Amino acid sequence: MGLSMVLRSTLFYVGFTLWTLAYAPLTPLAWLLLSRTQRIAFCGLWARVGARWLSWSCGIGVDVQGEAPARDRPVVLVCNHQSALETLLLWRYFPRMAVVLKAELLRLPVIGWALPLAWPIAIQREAGRKALEQVLSEGRKRLEAGLPVLIFPEGTRQACGEVGRFHQSAVQLARTCGVPIQTIALNSGCFWPKGQWRKYPGTVRLEFGPVVPVSDSNARFTALLEARIRSTVEAMPRGPGFPVADASRPPRRRRHPPQ
C-alpha cells in the first residue's frame, strides 16, 4: 500500500510537470489573442486538467455536498485551506474566478509566469494593512467585472481536520462592495497533506454553504463563518492514517497577517 502510494504520487508529479511544461509556452499567445475573461478560463483549464490527472493517478475522488456553487457572479468565496489540491479543484466549479494568493507564487518557475493570466490578487502577507487595502481595491475591480473572488481567510494551509483563525478581509470586502458570501468547507489535507510528497487515495468532501449577505459586524460575521466551516470540517471523515482532530485543542496562531 505504502509503495503503491509513492509510485502513484510520483506518477502524478511526472504527468503534472509534463502538462505544465506543455501549457506554459502557450501563455504568450493567450496574452496576445485572448480577452481577459478568456485568459482566466484558459488558466482555469490548466488547473482543471491537473485536478483530473490527480484523480486518475492517485485515486482521489470528490464528493460534493450542500448548495450549488455561485459561479459566474460577483460573490466572495470563503474557503478553508488545507492543501494545494483546492487550488486546482475549485476551478472545476468556478471556471472564471479571481483568487487572493501570496505574491511569492508569481516568482515560481513556469507556473508563476502563467498565473497572471488568471488576474489574481497577489499580496505580500507581511504587509498588514497595506495587504488588506490591496484586497479591498483589487477585489472590487474583480467583483465589478462579474467574477467571484476566492479568499482563504486562514492565510496558510492547516493540517487534516484543523481550521485556523479567520482574518476579516473577506467579510470586509463583501460588505464594502455590497455582495454576498458563500462558504466552502473541505478536508483536502487528509488526502494531499501539507508538505508531503505522498498522496492518499480516497474521497475529498467538498461542501458549499448557502449564499448569504453580510448581516453583522465584520468581527462577529467572520467568527460566524469560521465556526460554521470549523464544525463542518470537524464532522468530515479523515483520510487513511489521520486521527480524528481534537476539538478541544485551540487552533494554531498565525505568524503573519493572512489573506
Q: With CA atoms as reference, report the closest residue to 117 among 18, 21, 27, 20.
A: 27
CB neighbour list of residue 155: distance below 8 Å, 6 or more residues apart:
81, 125, 164, 167, 254, 256, 257, 258, 259
What is the pairing mode between strands 121-123 and 202-212?
unpaired
pLDDT (0 to 100) of residue 253 = 43
What are the pLDDT digits (tens) for 5-39? 899 999 999 999 999 999 999 999 999 999 999 99
Residue 104 lies in a domain: yes
pLDDT, mean of residues 107-135: 90
Is 165 in a helix, a strand, or coil?
A: coil
Is 118 in a helix, a strand, or coil?
A: helix
Averaged pLDDT of the chain = 91
Residue 99 lies in a domain: yes
The enclosing domain of 139 has a CATH number of: 3.40.1130
Domain ranges, residue 169? 2-234
Residue 256 lies in a domain: no
Candidate from 111-120, 221-230, 243-252 with smallest mean pLDDT? 243-252
Total domains present in the chain: 1
Residue 201 pLDDT exceeds 60: yes
Cα 196 off chain centre by:
18
Distance, in Å, from the CA atom of 97 to the CA atom of 93, rounded to the nearest integer, reads 10
Sign of the CA dihedral with 232 first, then 203, 187, and 1 last: positive
Residue 249 lies in a domain: no
pLDDT (0 to 100) of residue 252 = 46
Residue 60 lies in a domain: yes
Distance, in Å, from the CA atom of 222 to the CA atom of 230, rounded to the nearest integer, reads 12
Candidate from 29-33, 69-73, 140-144, 250-254 with smallest mean pLDDT? 250-254
Residue 184 pLDDT exceeds 50: yes
Q: With CA atoms as reference, report the closest residue to 187 among 55, 83, 66, 37.
A: 83
The predicted model scores a pTM of 0.90
What are the pLDDT digits (tens) for 77-98? 999 999 999 999 999 999 999 9
What are the pLDDT digits (tens) for 40-87? 999 999 999 999 999 999 999 999 999 999 998 999 999 999 999 999
Candidate from 100-104, 118-122, 214-218, 251-255 with smallest mean pLDDT? 251-255
- 11: burial class by Cβ within 10 Å (0-12, 13-18, 19+)? middle
Other residues' Cβ atoms within 10 Å of the Cβ of residue 44:
20
Residue 248 lies in a domain: no
Contact between 39 and 119 under an 8 Å Cβ cutoff? The reply is yes
pLDDT (0 to 100) of residue 229 = 99
Residue 245 lies in a domain: no
For the chain, give the percent of residues with pLDDT over 90. Answer: 82
Residue 250 lies in a domain: no
**Confidence tier at 127 by pLDDT (50, 70, 90):** confident
